[in-house]
Structure 1
Amino acid sequence: MVAYLLRRLLYVVPTVFLVSLVSFLIIQLPPGDYLSTVVANLSRTGQNVDPAQLAALKERYALDQPVIAQYWKWITNIILHGDFGQSFEYGRSVSTLLAERLPLTLALGLSTLLFTWAVALPAGIYSAVRKYSVGDYVLTAVAFLGIAIPGFLLALTVAYIQFRYFDKTVGGLLSPDYVGARWNLGKLLDLFDHVWLPVLVLSLGGIGGTIRILRANLLDELHKPYVVTGRARGLSERRLIAHYPVRVALNPFIATIGWLIPALFDGEVLVATVLGLQTTGPLLLGALESQDMYLAGSIIFIACVLTVIGTLVSDILLALVDPRVREGYR
């Protein structure tokens, strides 16, 4: 087990380096840079740009250097000083912008994940155990609807119903009165009053997919010889299913914990834009549109690092839950 963990930890460092390099290079693929975008926007409005000021800004942000030099400056500042650079568009440090939005993004993602599993796992087990029952057909229909309905469309529909019939404010995770206030019990309750809508929208597709995957995995396990042997030994049906087939059927979910983070980031961009959430989704979208390379690169880099950490955690949990992983490594 120790050798397994050490090997997984050794994979983390080169993986993080490679994803940081790829992330920075990807945002450099569109032609031009942030200053080119600013100049184009000013030109469309008939304004002139001072060439000397433009040259000074290029030198300040190292935009006159090759892409590799820009990347090296960015990554070394992160490693040595924890400095993610300066956002061109906002004129503020990227660390400050991330400190404002990343906690809400992670809280929203964690709430969505817990809600998805709390609903989908019991539903998937019931759907497999009661195969072809009325409940199974109902859950199957709900799962297919959850997978098929786009998140942004569901967000618009639920937001309209909330505003039209319940007279509640739509947009944001906080009411306007609490946006700039310090955290207290009232602000926390107001957050809970708003967060259920994005959690519901973001989790619906995941609930549908989880139900279908768990049902298929569990149906494969229920007819294997070890289950028949357990029944022959007189084990109760509930104990037999909970301790053996369900435990094996959960392996794919444990193994893919790291994949859930980028999926939440991807889905959160559109939903957060529609609902006006103060998360990193709209921030990333705006940074990519304006080619704010330090801000966009930092958000993508953090998402990739969280993915690597999540994959490491899933590997460790899988080795703890399933002895076959440890034995297979040996």
Structure 2
Amino acid sequence: MGLYLLRRVLAMVPTVFLVSLVSFTIIQLPPGDFLDTVVANLSQQGQTIEPAQLAALRQRYALDQPMVVQYTTWITNIVTRGDFGQSMLYGKPVSELIGERLPLTLGLGVSVWLFGWAIALPAGIYSAVRKYSLGDYVLTSMAFVGIAVPGFLLALTVAFIQFRYFDKAVGGMFSPEYADAAWNLGKLLDFLDHLWLPVLVLSLGGIGGTIRVLRANLLDELRKPYVVTARSRGLSERRLLVAYPVRVALNPFIATVGWLIPALFDGEVLVSTVLGLETTGPLLLRSLESQDMYLAGSIIFIACVLTVIGTLISDILLVLVDPRVRAGYA
């Protein structure tokens, strides 16, 4: 087990390096750079920028350097000083911009995860145990709808219904009077009042997929000989279900639970943009549109690092939970 963990940790280093290199390269593939975007926007407004000022800005943001030099400087500053660079779009340090939106992003992500699992796990178990019942058909139909309907379309629909029939504006995580206020009980209640809609929209697709996968895995386990043997020995149905088949059926979710970590960080970009949420998702979208390479590259880099770490955590949890997997590393 110890040797396995050491190999995985050592493999993470080149993986993170390659991911950072690829992400930084992809961001710069479109023609032009951030200043070209600025010049084009100014031209549409009938304004111009002096060539000397433009050259000074290119030198300030190191846009006059080759991509290799830009990447080397950027990754070196991250590793040695934790400096993700300066956002050209916002004129602030990247770490400050991410830090401003990270608490709300994590709060939304954790809420989506808890709500999704609280609904999907009992629904998936019920759907498998009561196979082909009316409840199974209802849950299956709802799961297919949740999987099929895009999140951003559902967000638009729910937002329209809430505005049209309940006369309540939708957008952001706070009402205007609480947006810049210090945290207090009123702001917390206002936050919770705005939180349910994005949690519902972001959860539905995951709930549908979890129900279907858990149902299929549990049905497969319930047909195996050890379940029949346990029943023949008089083990109660509830104890049998929880102690053995459900535990084994959850293995695929345990194996991918670490992938939730990057999801908590970046969130759903389209849904967050549609609902006007102050999370890192819209921040990433705006940085890509404006070719703000340091901001976009840093968000993608952090998400990729969290993915690698989350995968390692998933593997460790799977080894600890499943004796069959643990035996392979004994």
Task: Report the TM range for the smaller structure's normalisation.
Answer: over 0.9
User: How far apart in 1 are the matches of 2:266 and 2:4?
Assistant: 31
Q: Which consecutive residues of structure 1, in runs of 5 or more, have no partner in the other structure?
A: none
Per-residue CA shift, 1:65-96, capped at 9, x if unaligned? 11111111111111111111111111111111
Aligned to 2:169: 169
Aligned to 2:99: 99
| TM-score, structure 2 as length reference | 0.96
Per-residue CA shift, 1:150-189, capped at 9, x if unaligned? 1111111211222233333310111111111111222111
Aligned to 1:148: 148
Aligned to 2:179: 179
Aligned to 1:237: 237
How many percent identity over aligned positions? 79
Aligned to 2:213: 213
User: Following superposition of structure 1 onto structure 2, how do residues 277-288 of structure 1 map, counting pairs within 5 Å?
Assistant: 277-288=277-288
Is residue 36 from structure 1 mapped to residue 39 from structure 2 by the alignment?
Answer: no
Q: Is the 8 A contact 2:267 2:280 kept in 1?
A: no
SS of the aligned residue for 1:256 comes to: helix
Runs of 4+ in 1 over 4 A off after TM superposition: 261-267
State how many pairs are aligned: 330
Q: Is the 8 A contact 1:163 1:170 kept in 2?
A: yes
**Deviation for aligned residue 1:207:** 0.4
**Deviation for aligned residue 1:266:** 7.3
**Deviation for aligned residue 1:265:** 6.8
**Deviation for aligned residue 1:64:** 1.1
Q: Which consecutive residues of structure 2, in runs of 5 or more, have no partner in the other structure?
A: none
**Deviation for aligned residue 1:261:** 4.7
Aligned to 1:321: 321
User: Following superposition of structure 1 onto structure 2, how do residues 1-330 of structure 1 map, counting pairs within 5 Å?
Assistant: 1-261=1-261, 268-330=268-330
| TM-score, structure 1 as length reference | 0.96
User: How far apart in 2 are the matches of 1:51 and 1:187?
Assistant: 48
Q: Pairwise CA RMSD of aligned residues?
A: 1.5
**Deviation for aligned residue 1:8:** 2.4
User: How far apart in 2 are the matches of 1:44 and 1:188?
Assistant: 42
Farther-moved stretch of structure 1 (140-149 vs 155-164): 155-164
**Deviation for aligned residue 1:10:** 2.1
User: How far apart in 2 are the matches of 1:81 and 1:264?
Assistant: 25
Q: Residue 255 of structure 1 aligns to which amino acid in structure 2?
A: A
Farther-moved stretch of structure 1 (47-56 vs 126-135): 47-56
User: How far apart in 2 are the matches of 1:33 and 1:234?
Assistant: 71
Per-residue CA shift, 1:48-72, capped at 9, x if unaligned? 2211111111111111111111111
